[in-house]
Amino acid sequence: MQTQEQIIVLDFGSQYSQLIARRIRECQVYSQVLPFSTPLARIRELAPKGIILSGGPCSVYEPGAPQVDPALFDLGLPVLGICYGMQLMVQTLGGKVGPGVAREYGRAELRVTDPSCALFRNVPSPSVMWMSHGDKVLATPPGTRTVAVTDNTEFAAVQIGDRPLFGIQFHPEVVHSPHGATLIANFCRGVCACRGDWSMASFIETQTAAIRETVGDANVILGLSGGVDSSVAAALIHRAIGKQLTCIFVDNGLLRKDEAKRVQRLFADNFDMKLCFVDASQTFMDKLAGVDEPEAKRKVIGHTFIDVFADTARSIPNVTFLAQGTTYPDVIESVPINGNPAAMIKSHHNVGGLPPDLQFKLLEPLSRLFKDEVRQVGRLLGLPEDVVMRQPFPGPGLGVRCLGAVDKEKLDILREADDIFVDEIKAAGLYYKLWQAFCVFLPVRSVGVMGDQRTYDYVIALRVVASSDGMTADWVNLPEDLLRRVSARIVNEVRGVNRVVLDVTSKPPGTIEWE
């Protein structure tokens, strides 16, 4: 991708760092999150228009607390310190930070004392901002102007001297700060003078050119799952290099109803992509026979997929690149915190563990995008809405939604029940409003009465949750008439089921998936 305007977010361990970057991008300005320890030389090389220092869980005065090179503040770039970032900037430049007499969490009324400050253009005073701090600024560096206050914080916002160095004690990036987006826009477009030309249309054009330049005349393979990320990656790469891309779709027998047909119809027929379809369902069933422990099932499914994928990849000539639908949150979460690999949240490579004879270069065209941006790209590339807005589906597929040992009979029962549930959710206009809605097969039988006859059949659980990121979730109270309709259809139309139950567990303490 060609060089463009950007604002760097230096991450000090805040849970909101990704959210800061998202808010910047909503201003149509590109942003990326980097560790606080990023060398100054690297920052200069990236030539950002401005820098934001995130919040963090530490106290700046504690031994070993995250620091930055003091020369960062002499680069001549606008800097905005948020919470910990503000306290670090104040302390580094000669001020003092210490524990507050009273901690401040949640809503606070912010009063702007210097309306000439560029950060607060069109921000009303008073306004509600979200606080989350126990420490506070006790003394500011020489020449500092106090810009805003709260009842508990006399230095809620400051500007240090006449330089574009700003500190705010609150979190403008969260939705609980109604005018926070305006403040961030003021920093990006006003203080940093960014043009605001970052868009998904421009991303597609620049990324298409970058893919062509990177790939040359080599071939690319991509493991296509039918999910949002892999589907958008496939469409984007195909736009760039056409028939040099081969998508490998593995039917592992753990897919939802008609999933394989849907993927083949969309990508092979409508997009005219080279699609290598592999029916390995029997192989997976054989490997999973008798395996009932959840983690053991996941490992069997993962290892078998790698074996099947590798065998297929060997049949495709001149392959240099392995493409993946890695997104920006995956990349951020795979960066070690404080330089400690043990603190890494997860590895972001979707297809790992390939044998030594298949060592490809990675092609990850979506690795700079958040999920909502990936969806925008998908729409612009012509993917249908049911693909772009598809709910998350686990990598091991129905293997983690069919409790206990899996077999074809149980999976077919689950497929039919799940198809009915999703069909009714869509008919009710709720599908795109929910994080996930799906069925779980319970390997227990219960007594029922159907047609004056005693039955002894399986139980299906309905799981439907609302969430913003999957990290936490709450169960959704569906309309009673919808639940009645779903239950009646499943019991009447799916042989082998005589009872439907509803999961009303939040995450935590439960998980979204049952296994």
Residues marked active site are found at: 83, 171, 173
DSSP 23-61: HHHHTT-EEEEEETT--HHHHHHH--SEEEE---SS-TT
Residues 6+ apart with CB under 8 A from 379: 385, 388
281 CB neighbour count, 10 Å cutoff: 17
Q: Look up residue 241 and give its two tokens.
A: 């290099």
Instruction: Return d(Cα 413, Cα 447) in angstroms, integer.
Output: 17
Classify residue 342 by its DSSP letter.
Answer: G
Q: Distance between alpha carbon 126 and the CA centroid of its chain, in Å? A: 34
117 CB neighbour count, 10 Å cutoff: 20
Residues in the chain, how many? 515
Q: In 3D, which of 167, 128, 172 has the Cα closest to residue 151? A: 128
Burial (CB < 10 A; 0-12, 13-18, 19+), residue 347, is exposed
Instruction: Return d(Cα 119, Cα 179) in angstroms, integer.
Output: 11
Q: How many CA atoms lie within 13 A of 227 on its CB side?
A: 20
DSSP 261-328: HHHIIIIIIIS--EEEEEE-HHHHHHHHTT--SHHHHHHHHHHHHHHHHHHHHTTSTTEEEEE----H
**Tally of helices (H runs) and strands (E runs) in the chain:** 14, 18
Instruction: Return d(Cα 497, Cα 482) in angstroms, integer.
Output: 19
136 contacts 157 by C-beta, under 8 angstroms: no
